[in-house]
Structure 1
């Protein structure tokens, strides 16, 4: 569990790449500069940790491309103390970014293997979410709603209504929508039934798994 000067240097280079790609939020860049992404991957892949690429992790999932993490995080406009719901804990890297931004994070993971691994791993490196939950992200987390923002870290074929209903007024849902290629979509809740929708380009994600039981 080492984080060396070499790793820190590689992170700074990654931050410069993200700036060139258009990421402007200084808090998001600072979080990416601070979090030891290599620890979220198998030790054999350290060299890949600070490339701007997605990478396979357990249970046929991936750790998202840093640019994607930064892009989604920037769209959420997280302020310290915001209550945030994350759908798809995965490796926990996006969770760590949200925690660095000062959010109170509730995160749901559908894959048992990943859930067990990540819920042990995050506290080991000093990241404590409010709640990590094993369950169906399509349902959101009614008992903790409303949320200031909700982030979905897997491709959703449609926008689950429970997620929209669990946003507070003024809250933001960031979700990649589509089957093979997803459109990054931002919903801003303007009123009880009113949502403003923005479509922000194509991305590729692993699919969001729905509980079929």
Structure 2
């Protein structure tokens, strides 16, 4: 076992399992995905630490526990189709790709998207579709989605994302104007929506504008 693999296993045990994450598929995917490859070189020494890290374009890669929690809350299954809002460095994208049939991932910064695409392609992922776009709009062409995961915080719940969630689907999203809260949004079979508060969080603000090259 090399140093990165040992650090990753320690991260899973101490930061994730010890805080109550128990979904074995989620834990195995986090043990497998080399987080240090998704972190800028200047911060790779801290890739398995218990904190978020800065990336390019003023964005961040989330704390490992938050990645694990949000993924577990989705209850991903192998037959699911997922939409991710905010590709970032591609780490959360990789975790999802390990767990579902297909991932559509939207990023507003072309620089981040290109870097993430190169990393994920080099690792052999073939079930990820990359979209450069505004996350508030979602991606109607492939809707509906069994799962939607949002990795930046809008001030309110975007209606387009609610509409693109399949009946019986689940969305995990942080949002709030003055105080961000992580929510699980469930769309019932009759189309009604149920919100469940999970915990207060701090995410970068979700951008509502055209993509940046």
- Asked if Structure 1 and Structure 2 have the same fold, meaning a TM-score greater than 0.5 normalized by the shorter chain, the answer is yes
Residues 49-103 of structure 1, C-alpha deviations (whole Å, 9 max, x = no match): 1112100011100111111110110011000021000000000000000011133
Q: Distance in 1 between matches of 2:202 and 2:101?
A: 26
Q: 1: CA distance between counterparts of 2:127 and 2:89?
A: 13
Secondary structure of the 2:51 match is: coil
Aligned partner of 1:16 in structure 2 is 13
Retained in 2: the 8 A contact 1:180–1:204? no
Matches within 5 A, 1:53-64: 53-64=51-62
Runs of 4 or more above 4 Å deviation: none
Unaligned runs of 5+ in 1: none
| Aligned match of 2:180 | 182
Number of equivalenced pairs? 210
* Aligned match for 1:42, one of 40, 43, 48: 40
- Are the aligned partners of 1:181 and 1:205 in contact in 2 as well (CA < 8 Å)? no
**Contact 2:169-2:186 within 8 A present in 1 as well:** yes
TM-score of the aligned structures, taking structure 2 as reference length: 0.94
Change over 3 Å in CA distance of 1:66–1:181 after alignment to 2 = farther
Shift of 1:184: 0.5
Q: CA RMSD in A?
A: 1.5
Tell whether 2:183 aligns with 1:162: no
Offset from partner CA, 1:19-74 (integer Å, 9 cap, x none): 11111111111111111100111223222011121000111001111111101100
Shift in CA distance, 8/180, structure 1 to aligned 2, threshold 3 Å: farther
TM-score, normalised relative to structure 1:
0.94
Q: Distance in 2 between matches of 1:212 and 1:128?
A: 27
1:137 pairs with 2:135:
yes
Equivalent residues in 2 for 1:1-213 (5 A)?
5-17=2-14, 18-179=16-177, 181-211=179-209
Query: For 2:160, what is the secondary structure of its paired residue?
Result: helix
* Higher mean C-alpha deviation, range 43-52 or range 129-138: 43-52
